[in-house]
Structure 1
Amino acid sequence: MTDSPPDAASPPIEHESVRERLAVERGDTNGRIAALSRDFDGIVAANALVAVDDEHDPEGASTAFERAHVAALLAQTREHLADLDRALARLERGDYGRCEQCGAPIPVERLEVRPAASTCVHCAATRHR
């Protein structure tokens, strides 16, 4: 990470506005985690009430899939919450809005869509190849 000044083409980041947006998204994400946790618990409880043999029950495969699907969504949502927490930490350190890979400014448009983004579009694209 470099300590170079922001590029002239990069508008300054309004810290309070970003902090508020991250806090709102964090609250929404916590709400999704609570809802998904209730869904997961409901699926587990419903399966516990019925002696389900997933291998031989025609509905068993779909309940197993549903449980796995909700568990995956829950894990993904928890990871997003962690991303938001890391974004808040970058904001406090003064690193928010800079790519963690190359140090270039992350375009404001990307941060508006993905406020927890930690990389520029170029580095994000090369990381997923």
Structure 2
Amino acid sequence: MDESTAALSAAERAAVRELVESRRERTADQIADLSRAFDDIVDAARSTATDDEHDPEGSTIAFERSQVATLLRQARDQLAELDHALDRLADGTFGRCESCGRAIPMERLTARPSTTTCVACAGRGRRR
């Protein structure tokens, strides 16, 4: 069986599913923590009569809010990628490059289980 027709074994699929589910759980926990932190920052900003432009602490609050919002968005994106990986595991397309259809090496899937492309296609995407 060559690289273009190789499929994940049942044991490999089970191991990857466990990895994806574990990362998904950690990411969901991270989203909950970041959501609480964001709400705390917003509440703190509301409870003080600050004007970000003139208050020396105002820019810090705005920066914190922006930073947490960015981390929250990234975590939500990661959660969506992990959900997509679970969908691909369920429909049997996990481990295949979405661009060229070739098998993605198990080492890459283990390192980045939410990946949808092989290294070659991922590299081509960055050079565009």
TM over 0.5: same fold?
A: yes
**Structure 1 residue 76: Cα displacement:** 0.6
Consecutive unaligned residues of structure 1, counting only runs of 5 or more, are none
1:84 is matched with which residue?
82
Q: In 1, are the aligned partners of 2:16 and 2:109 still within 8 Å (CA)?
A: no
Q: 1:7 aligns with which of 3, 6, 12?
A: 3
CA distance in 2, matches of 1:10, 1:109: 14
More helix by share: 2
The alignment-based identity, stated in percent, is 50
2:123 is matched with which residue?
125
Q: Could you say what secondary structure the match of 1:128 adopts?
A: helix
CA distance in 2, matches of 1:89, 1:12: 15
| Paired residue type of 2:31 | I
CA distance in 1, matches of 2:75, 2:56: 30
Q: In 2, are the aligned partners of 1:10 and 1:107 still within 8 Å (CA)?
A: no
Matches within 5 A, 1:7-46: 7=3, 12-13=8-9, 14-46=12-44
CA distance in 1, matches of 2:17, 2:108: 16
Provide TM-score, normalisation by structure 2: 0.89
Provide TM-score, normalisation by structure 1: 0.88
Consecutive unaligned residues of structure 2, counting only runs of 5 or more, are none
